[in-house]
A and B are shown apart, each in its own frame.
Chain A
């Protein structure tokens, strides 16, 4: 099993961004890194100039590097950005299907977790179009994961760690929470480097918002599911960046995969820096996504 660092979902300042990927290149025992802006095209200019340097450093460290599309492409400027990504010469991770309009027939690409791959027909169509690697949507139950892996030769990943991407909107919730219009957001999402918690009126931990994105309140942690995922033939796990303890987390997952630690060890060690401070893995085997199989 290999490890992919998914695209950072949050808005970090340029220095933090640059240092994060420099350390991933130098220190993280991961195989593949997906760079780029997934959530809001307005964030990109703040760190865009650091991308070539990060790509170079990651490649020099022996990592595979891919560039993600936005999750929701609407504006002309965003369509141009998507077309430019294809011209970068790196693997493109498609998280909005409009990227296929720019990818030449037969060119290899990967499919990210925000593309709806629920069944064999869709998987086969994408592989036929050139997809060599697919990270399945986090919502899928284990039975579906098993059947999809069995239906393809392509490399199949699942979401292994991090607040789950649950929805994407035209509306910016960070701007709304600050009584601002989206066009005048003043980049308030930067105040919440792991998303802003949204709790119920009874104080139950519930969801988190990140600009136009809605995330799970708790942090997905599929470490207890590793034997089942291995049994299904899943080829890799995706770890989603967080502001604290991420390098350590990469090492913990590497140690788990290599059999040096248990899922309980990992879960205990990673809890203090896990966004939301609690775990879920219910989409895979539970009655609802929010459930956690490791709960005593």
Chain B
């Protein structure tokens, strides 16, 4: 069976994910070393150690994301995160930065290394390079590839692949986007945040609700209508004679009906996005995905539509997995 890799922003969410059937849970430390660096989220050293013991007792793995790009002059913070993850008993670390990969391969050779989606390794040459240079054992693929392309990649590499199947959808190649810091000064690569809430303002103007990011209007909605969060790449903009969602609609990813195709493509693990989500959300998504995986394993079809109410703005896309998305 493919491995189900589930998000945990808190120890409570980790417990919920494990109990709902997660094969592995990924999480991060409460600082800028991981790409979900939100207030009130993530793990202390002590919480991680205890959470790993809890997961291991129940046969689940814990993967620690240390997947931002260390700041010049401050690499020691990221080095310490890797060392502490190993001490806490992590099953793997998820890394994106070349220098941090080199450091980890050299200083922590026995600590399993996964390549973060933030490294955007999108072809076999790049994946084989990371495998050979740093002993990377698994690669989380960027959300720019179709299922056919993932199949072709798996034929040419020896390491495992993991793909996102549900949750927030990056429209750009991950780890290669500085749109957020252009407008707000805070970026996924440097600060572990995208379109951060600290820069969001909602304003009532002319009977409409404007959602602004860093002073730039991302959405305008009639008062009382649902107002999606102003994520930069999912805003309503004008270009020439066109007004609309230039980059992407306010949708999220749901590739649950592609589970059989992804299994056939040779994918080893399916990943659910959402470390910022609540414990009950995580439990529900994990339970449904585990049921879907069990169904596929038993040769039954994926139960349809069970996750629709959990997607952002109630609409979902299969993203780049279907070639027509491009």
A residues engaging B (CB < 8 A)?
71-76, 78-79, 82, 96-98, 100-102, 114, 116, 118-126, 137-140, 143-144, 147-148, 151, 164, 166-173, 175-177, 181-183, 196-204, 206-207, 209, 214, 216, 282-283, 286-290
B residues engaging A (CB < 8 A)?
69-75, 96-100, 102-103, 120-126, 128-129, 133, 143-145, 149, 152, 171-173, 175-179, 181-185, 187, 189-190, 210, 214, 216-218, 220, 233, 235-240, 242-243, 246-248, 320, 323-326
Interface of B is mostly: mixed
Question: Can you pick out 14 interface pairs between chain A and chain B where the beta carbons lie within 8 Å of each other?
Answer: A114-B176, A116-B69, A116-B175, A118-B189, A120-B75, A171-B247, A171-B320, A177-B239, A177-B240, A181-B326, A200-B235, A201-B217, A206-B237, A288-B182
- Contacting pair B71 A169 (CB below 8 A): no
Kindly report which residue of chain A lies nearest to residue B153, judged by CB atoms. A74
- Contacting pair B237 A98 (CB below 8 A): no
**Residues on the B chain within 8 Å of A175, using CB:** 326
Docked complex Cα distance between A206 and B214 (Å)? 11
9 further interface pairs, Cβ-Cβ under 8 Å (given A72-B144, A147-B73):
A100-B133, A118-B97, A119-B97, A144-B71, A166-B177, A167-B173, A169-B247, A175-B326, A214-B172
**Residues on the A chain within 8 Å of B242, using CB:** 177
Contact of A138 among B121, B152, B178 (CB under 8 A): B178
Closest 10 CB pairs of A and B: A121-B99, A170-B144, A122-B99, A289-B182, A98-B126, A101-B125, A118-B69, A167-B172, A288-B185, A182-B326
Contact of B217 among A198, A202, A209 (CB under 8 A): A202
- Contacting pair B187 A201 (CB below 8 A): no
Interface of A is mostly: mixed
- Contacting pair A204 B182 (CB below 8 A): no
Closest Cβ of chain A to B291, distance in Å, is 30
- Contacting pair A98 B182 (CB below 8 A): no
**Residues on the B chain within 8 Å of A139, using CB:** 178, 181, 187, 189-190
**Residues on the A chain within 8 Å of B210, using CB:** 202
- Contacting pair B183 A199 (CB below 8 A): no
Closest Cβ of chain A to B63, distance in Å, is 21
**Residues on the B chain within 8 Å of A169, using CB:** 144, 171-173, 247
Docked complex Cα distance between A125 and B105 (Å)? 12
- Contacting pair B72 A176 (CB below 8 A): no
- How many residue-residue contacts, CB under 8 A, span A and B? 217
Q: When A204-B216, A214-B179 are in contact, do A98 and B239 touch as well, CB less than 8 Å?
A: no
**Residues on the A chain within 8 Å of B70, using CB:** 118-119, 121
- Contacting pair A173 B246 (CB below 8 A): yes
- Contacting pair B176 A116 (CB below 8 A): yes
- Contacting pair B99 A119 (CB below 8 A): yes
- Contacting pair A79 B72 (CB below 8 A): no
- Contacting pair B126 A119 (CB below 8 A): no
- Contacting pair A166 B125 (CB below 8 A): no
Kindly report which residue of chain A lies nearest to residue B182, judged by CB atoms. A289
Docked complex Cα distance between A168 and B173 (Å)? 6
**Residues on the A chain within 8 Å of B233, using CB:** 167, 214
- Contacting pair A170 B71 (CB below 8 A): no
Kindly report which residue of chain A lies nearest to residue B79, judged by CB atoms. A121
- Contacting pair B75 A73 (CB below 8 A): no
**Residues on the B chain within 8 Å of A123, using CB:** 99
Closest Cβ of chain A to B212, distance in Å, is 9
Kindly report which residue of chain B lies nearest to residue A102, judged by CB atoms. B125
**Residues on the A chain within 8 Å of B96, using CB:** 116
- Contacting pair A171 B326 (CB below 8 A): yes
**Residues on the A chain within 8 Å of B190, using CB:** 118, 139
**Residues on the A chain within 8 Å of B121, using CB:** 97-98
Docked complex Cα distance between A264 and B235 (Å)? 35
Closest Cβ of chain A to B176, distance in Å, is 6
Q: When A74-B123, A290-B183 are in contact, do A97 and B189 touch as well, CB less than 8 Å?
A: no
Contact of A143 among B72, B97, B128, B220 (CB under 8 A): B72
Q: When A72-B144, A121-B70 are in contact, do A166 and B237 touch as well, CB less than 8 Å?
A: no
Docked complex Cα distance between A277 and B251 (Å)? 33
Closest Cβ of chain B to A216, distance in Å, is 6
Docked complex Cα distance between A82 and B143 (Å)? 22
**Residues on the B chain within 8 Å of A283, using CB:** 178, 181-182
Closest Cβ of chain B to A290, distance in Å, is 6
Q: When A79-B125, A171-B325, A197-B239 are in contact, do A116 and B189 touch as well, CB less than 8 Å?
A: yes
**Residues on the A chain within 8 Å of B98, using CB:** 97, 116, 121-122, 125-126
Docked complex Cα distance between A120 and B103 (Å)? 11
Closest Cβ of chain B to A233, distance in Å, is 14
Q: When A72-B122, A79-B125 are in contact, do A216 and B175 touch as well, CB less than 8 Å?
A: no
**Residues on the B chain within 8 Å of A197, using CB:** 239-240
Docked complex Cα distance between A197 and B237 (Å)? 10
- Contacting pair B144 A167 (CB below 8 A): no
Docked complex Cα distance between A101 and B238 (Å)? 41
- Contacting pair A119 B172 (CB below 8 A): no
Closest Cβ of chain A to B204, distance in Å, is 14
Q: When A73-B122, A177-B242 are in contact, do A124 and B99 touch as well, CB less than 8 Å?
A: yes
Docked complex Cα distance between A96 and B144 (Å)? 15
Q: When A118-B189, A201-B238, A289-B181 are in contact, do A96 and B99 touch as well, CB less than 8 Å?
A: no
